[in-house]
Amino acid sequence: MNVTYNSDKKRYELSEDGFTAIADVRFEDTLLFIDYVESPFELRGKGTAGRLMQGIVDDATAKNMTLRPVCGYAKKWLEKYN
């Protein structure tokens, strides 16, 4: 799993099978807002968005940041897995 932060587009990305799932985010002090998570049709149902979320959690934890999900998917994922 290679989740990366694209600072130019202000989002986290995870590429698999030639497609990229994304999570648009905002940083405010020690808060990381997850505004929107999207996985291309070709990656849906394969767990890609979940792996993307786990990468975001891992990065936020390493940076001592608190996650604030705005996106419904992100909120539900965090409630279930974090």
Q: Kindly state the DSSP code that residue 41 receives in the 8-state scheme.
A: G
Strands (E), the chain: 4-6, 11-16, 19-28, 31-38, 66-69
Count of the separate structural domains present in the chain: 1
Name the amino acid, one letter, at 19: F
Name the token pair of 27: 């940083």
Name the amino acid, one letter, at 48: T
pTM: 0.94
Would you tell me how many other CB atoms lie within 10 Å of the CB of residue 28?
Answer: 9
pLDDT of residue 1: 65
Write the pLDDT tens digit of every residue in 14-66.
999 999 999 999 999 999 999 999 999 999 999 999 999 999 999 999 999 99
Q: Kindly state the DSSP code that residue 71 receives in the 8-state scheme.
A: S
- CATH number for the domain including 41? 3.40.630.30
Domain range for 68 is 4-81
